[in-house]
């Protein structure tokens, strides 16, 4: 276990392992670190978007809605194929 883990987090990890949610403490910690990395990536992407918007580098709303409609159509087609 990580030596500087708080007692609360240490207990939580041990409970997850004892319940069978994770096969080991190392697996639980690796999953937690992976989620932390993804979280930091999302924050960085949002910050980049904010900076882009502040520069005025924006996409017209009609283009955004068309892209969303296209993605929705792909998702709906995929769902119907699986049904």
Helix (H), strand (E), coil (C) string for the chain:
CCCCCCHHHHHHHHHHHHCCCCCCHHHHHHHHHHHHHHHHHHHHHHHHHHHHHHCCCCCCHHHHHHHHHHHHHHHHHHHHHHC
Q: Which pLDDT does position 1 carry in this prediction?
A: 52
Q: Which pLDDT does position 62 carry in this prediction?
A: 96
Convert the pLDDT of each residue in 35-45 to its tens digit: 999 999 999 99
Residue 8 has pLDDT above 90, yes or no: yes
Question: In terms of pTM, does the model score above 0.75?
Answer: no
């Amino acid at each position: 276990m990580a030596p500087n883990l708080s007692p609360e987090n240490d207990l939580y990890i041990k409970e997850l392992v004892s319940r069978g949610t994770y096969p080991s403490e190392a697996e639980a910690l690796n999953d937690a670190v992976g989620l932390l990395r993804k979280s930091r990536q999302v924050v960085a992407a949002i910050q980049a978007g904010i900076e882009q918007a502040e520069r005025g580098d924006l996409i017209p709303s009609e283009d955004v809605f068309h892209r969303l409609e296209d993605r929705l159509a792909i998702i709906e087609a995929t769902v119907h194929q699986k049904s």
